[in-house]
């Protein structure tokens, strides 16, 4: 009878410890995995879209500044791009840098648009 009780206690302790270590391992792996979104970016006269991985939410403007030499005026949602990689939109020629998302002109500013998985972001100079 004593041996059965000892065996039962050891068996229950084994099951409990196994569950604890399994849960700890799952939590550890969960913390290690960082989701990376794939975004395509094309600037000006580039012939092809370039692929970038981003691991956090970024605005189209933040992505542009990170992946190029962009100069913007204004802050946050009111920011607008004046130059990308040394190519300036000339206000005297009524030019501005427009950005397109998945082939359509964006309906919000670059500082407001949060890039999503699979987005194709294209920047080009337009006239008004």
Over 80: is that where the pLDDT of 115 sits? yes
Q: How confident is the model at residue 12 (pLDDT cuts 50, 70, 90)?
A: low
Select the highest-mean-pLDDT range: 6-10, 41-45, 79-83.
79-83
pTM for the full predicted model: 0.66
CA distance 118 to 106: 15
Give tens-digit pLDDT for 48-85: 888 888 878 889 999 999 989 999 998 877 888 999 99
Q: Which two tokens stand for residue 76?
A: 């946050």
CB burial string 49-63: b at 16+ within 10 A, e below: eeebebeeebbbbbb
What pLDDT is attached to residue 74?
A: 87
3-state secondary structure of 4: helix
pLDDT score of 13 more than 70: no
* Of the candidates 41, 86, 38, the residue with the CA atom closest to the CA atom of residue 66: 41
């Amino acid at each position: 009878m004593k041996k059965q009780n000892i065996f039962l206690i050891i068996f229950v302790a084994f099951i409990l410890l196994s569950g604890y270590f399994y849960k700890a391992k799952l939590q550890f792996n969960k913390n290690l995995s960082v989701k990376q979104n794939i975004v395509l970016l094309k600037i000006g006269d580039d012939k092809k879209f370039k692929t970038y991985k981003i691991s956090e939410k970024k605005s189209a403007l933040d992505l542009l500044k990170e992946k190029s030499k962009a100069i913007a005026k204004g802050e946050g949602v009111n920011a607008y791009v004046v130059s990308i990689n040394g190519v300036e939109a000339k206000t005297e020629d009524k030019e501005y840098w427009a950005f397109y998302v998945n082939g359509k002109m964006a309906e919000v500013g670059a500082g407001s648009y949060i890039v999503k998985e699979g987005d194709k972001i294209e920047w080009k100079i337009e006239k008004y």
